[in-house]
Amino acid sequence: MSGHRAVLSRRETEVMDVLYRLGEATVSEVMDQLAEPPTYSAVRSVLRVLEGKGHIIHREDGPRYVYAPAVARDRARSAALDHLVNTFFDGSAERAVAALLRRSDLELSEGQVKKLAREVQHARQEGR
């Protein structure tokens, strides 16, 4: 997401997570996915704010509005990952990967290790 957009509140982030997970949703569908949902009007208000900030769009489906992320999930994921690597790992993808591999909850099977090795090889062949 571009740098001119404001930082999201905790609730706005939760709602964006729901929309990325579902692809699109009505106010009620968003509420159903929130751990501690506020009122219907509060969720509708958060959606309006997110739309005003340019993070989501809506379409009309009869009397309902259906909301969706304005930026494709892959593009948002890439931007978030770039931000994470640049902010916490001094721009080093190697450091970020090493940190992931050091996580105590990470238990990779032999097949997963081989798949990661293939991904590294593929990235090298593409010049990355």
6 and 31 co-located in one domain: yes
Tell me: do 48 and 82 sit in the same domain. yes
Domain identity same for 81 and 112:
no
Whether residues 51 and 1 fall in one domain = yes
Give the structural domain span for 101: 93-128
- 73 and 125 co-located in one domain: no
CA distance 3 to 18: 22
83 lies in the same domain as 97 = no
CATH number at residue 11: 1.10.10.10
pLDDT at 4 over 60: no
Q: How confident is the model at residue 78 (pLDDT cuts 50, 70, 90)?
A: confident
101 and 67 share one domain: no
Place of tokens 């106010």: 27
Q: Is the pLDDT of residue 3 over 50?
A: no
Q: Are both 38 and 100 inside the same structural domain?
A: no
Say how far apart CA 120 and CA 16 lie, in whole Å.
30
Q: Are 103 and 93 in contact (CB under 8 A)?
A: no
pLDDT for the residue 90: 93
Are 1 and 71 contacting, i.e. CB atoms less than 8 angstroms apart? Answer: yes
Number of compact structural domains in the chain: 2
Please tell me whether residues 8 and 70 are part of one structural domain: yes
Q: What is the pLDDT of residues 33-72, one digit of tens each?
A: 998 989 999 999 999 999 999 999 999 999 999 999 998 8
Give the SS3 label for residue 115: helix
